[in-house]
Amino acid sequence: MEQTSIQKKLPWIAALAMFMQSLDGTILNTALPSIAADLHKPPLTLQSIIISYVLVLALLIPLSGWLSDRFGSKNVFVIAIAIFTVGSLCCALSQSLTALIVSRVIQAIGGSMMVPVSRLAILYTYEKEKLLGVINFITIPGLVGPIIGPTLGGWLVEIASWHWIFIINIPIGIFGIYYAAKNMPQYKRPEDGFDFLGMLLFGGSLLLLTLGIELGTHDIIHESILLSVFATSFVLMNLYYFHFRRLKERALINLSLIRIKTLRIGVFGNLLTRLGIGGMPLLLPLLFQLGLKQSAMTSGIMLIPVALTSVIIKSWVVPIVKKLGYKNTLIINTMIIAIVIGLFSLVDAHTKLANLIPLLVIYGAVNSIQLTSMNTISLSALDNETASSGNSLLLVMQQLSMSLGISVGAFLLAKYSDKSWLQTENVFIAFKYTFLTLASITAVTSLIFLRLDKTAGENLSGHH
């Protein structure tokens, strides 16, 4: 296949992967209370369905780059979509929470390769100056997924049952397999052996960290066991660091990339910002359904303004960044996000839904500016040698911070609901303190972006 044909079709393949993954990530949020009722579980114990998916995604992303370089991008991508589709079928057939979590893990194994492999193919195909435009194009479906997701999820739950939110992936997946098999380029690159020990240490550390927060949400285990889970996670991460120093570039996650200042700030900025905003997709549907007593459908419709503005503002990101520079854009924007999350703490039983719409619109806009500018600044200093591992590192951190964001949001809500100094019958007080805590975390993150150079990322935003 000649290069121009690849350049025309590849962004569509990547966009489809992005769409499937983001639809899947958001369609579930509004359906959680219904799934909880069906499986006879409290709604707050169901975030494990989301976290198991996001966490497996984070753990397997580094493997995807290696598999793609070794077995060819087309082969790996087609298999990935097939696994994802089979996982979706298993989810639809699940009769218990355990079966649903196992099926979500299968889905995530496919999902962990779809987006990174297609993004890697894009990094290999396009020159740097075209990259921002292409990445912008492929992230738009990633933003359309969340527009359709919650509403479609709420609608399907009301007219049929929650099983349909998974069945819907099957025809999309079959079309994806056919289109990618025909049009995806087959890139192979010489690769070193895969660092499986590194994956065990690094993955094990992240798994225990998330598990610790997750178990802390439900008072199931003793605090001493909880502390040992966190301690083991810390030990494994330190072991990974020594392991990396021995293997250097051949290690799973190349920590020396952290020396690249823009990547370092982008990665840590991503991690901390998403601790604040990562919990919102879980908390907002719960606020609408448990707090304001709205239906799943209404709860989904209420999230449309967030996603719509995310897409509309997308085309303004480049001009905004050109005018203000990455440093100012990220500092100002992070503070606005903190204020907006803080304002959600004012919601109470008398709040009219219509009054929340302006807040949701602003939230969607600043969220979109944040994620686009953080992602592009992170990749700005990478070259062909560091593209694969840099891309992996960023994607791992994104997925990890999303699972941590959901865990932390659920953890705070559960903790504030249990506190004796709160009148437990007032669910809004628990939400209030949760939003204020997340707003504070987000505000602190803006300090990270102070470390960016004024000229950071100029090679991307078209300055000369």
Mean pLDDT, range 154-174, rounded to an integer? 88
Whole-prediction pTM? 0.77
Q: For 174-180, what is the mean pLDDT? A: 90
Instruction: Specify whether 459 is located in the same domain as 355.
Output: yes
Residues 118 and 135 in one domain: yes
The confidence score (pLDDT) of residue 1 equals 54
Per-residue model confidence (pLDDT) at position 150: 79
- Report d(CA 224, CA 310) in Å as an integer: 43
Where does the pLDDT of residue 218 fall: very low under 50, low under 70, confident under 90, or very high at 90 and above? low
Among 192, 219, 237, the domain boundary falls at 192
pLDDT at site 445: 86
Instruction: Say what the pLDDT of residue 382 is.
Output: 72
Total of domains in the chain: 3
pLDDT at 231: 92
Looking at the predicted structure, is the pLDDT value of residue 90 above 90? yes
**pLDDT higher than threshold 70 for residue 310:** yes
The Cα 204–Cα 443 span in angstroms is: 30
* Residue 236 shares a structural domain with residue 139: no
Rounded to an integer, the average pLDDT of 178-198 is: 81
Q: Give the pLDDT score at 139.
A: 74
- Based on the fold, state whether residues 213 and 272 are members of the same structural domain: no
Which residue, of 149, 164, 192, is where some domain finishes?
192
Q: Are residues 419 and 317 in the same domain?
A: yes
Q: Using an 8 Å Cβ cutoff, are 119 and 14 in contact?
A: yes
Per the model's pLDDT, the better-predicted residue between 130 and 281 turns out to be 281
Residue where a domain stops, chosen among 192, 214, 243: 192
Q: What digits encode the pLDDT tens for the residues 271-281?
A: 888 888 888 88
* 41 plus 129 within the same structural domain: yes
Does 425 lie in the same domain as 289? yes
pLDDT for the residue numbered 463: 41
Residue 226: domain span: 195-251
Q: What is the pLDDT of residue 238?
A: 93
Q: Which residues touch 460 (CB under 8 Å, ≥6 apart)? A: 128, 131, 132, 376, 377, 380
- Clarify whether residues 218 and 110 are in a common domain: no
pLDDT value at residue 335: 93
Instruction: Look at residue 17 in the predicted model and tell me its pLDDT.
Output: 86
- Per cent of the chain over pLDDT 70 is 91
Structure confidence at residue 462 (pLDDT): 47
| The pLDDT value given to residue 419 | 64
SS (H, E, C) the chain: CCHHHHHHHHHHHHHHHHHHHHHHHHHCHHHHHHHHHHCCCCHHHHHHHHHHHHHHHHHHHHHHHHHHHHHCHHHHHHHHHHHHHHHHHHHHHCCCHHHHHHHHHHHHHHHHHHHHHHHHHHHHHCCHHHHHHHHHHHHHHHHHHHHHHHHHHHHHHHHCCCCHHHHCHHHHHHHHHHHHHHHCCCCCCCCCCCCHHHHHHHHHHHHHHHHHHHHHHCCCCCHHHHHHHHHHHHHHHHHHHHHHHHHHHHCCCCHHHHHCHHHHHHHHHHHHHHHHHCCHHHHHHHHHHHHCCCCHHHHHHHCHHHHHHHHHHHHHHHHHHHHHHHHHHHHHHHHHHHHHHHHHHHCCCCCCHHHHHHHHHHHHHHHHHHHHHHHHHHHCCCCHHHHHHHHHHHHHHHHHHHHHHHHHHHHHHHHHHHCCCCCCCCHHHHHHHHHHHHHHHHHHHHHHHCCCCCCCCCCCCCCC
Same domain, 245 and 349: no
Task: Give the burial class of 404: count Cβ atoms within 10 A of its Cβ; 0-12 exposed, 13-18 middle, 19 or more buried.
Answer: buried
Contact 415, 290 (CB under 8 A): no
440 has a pLDDT exceeding 70 = yes
Instruction: Indicate which CATH number applies to the domain containing 426.
Output: 1.20.1250.20
The pLDDT value given to residue 258: 77
- Do 86 and 5 belong together in one domain? yes
**Interval 389-412: pLDDT, tens:** 777 777 777 777 777 888 888 888
Q: What is the pLDDT of residues 219-273, one digit of tens each?
A: 666 778 888 988 999 999 999 989 988 887 777 777 777 778 878 888 888 888 8
Assess whether pLDDT exceeds 50 at residue 120. yes
369 plus 322 within the same structural domain: yes
| pLDDT tens string 14-69 | 888 888 887 877 778 778 888 888 888 877 777 778 778 877 877 787 788 788 88
pLDDT score of 273? 84
Are residue 286 and residue 416 in the same domain, yes or no?
A: yes
> Average pLDDT of the chain?
82
pLDDT at 330 over 70: yes
pLDDT at 187: 82
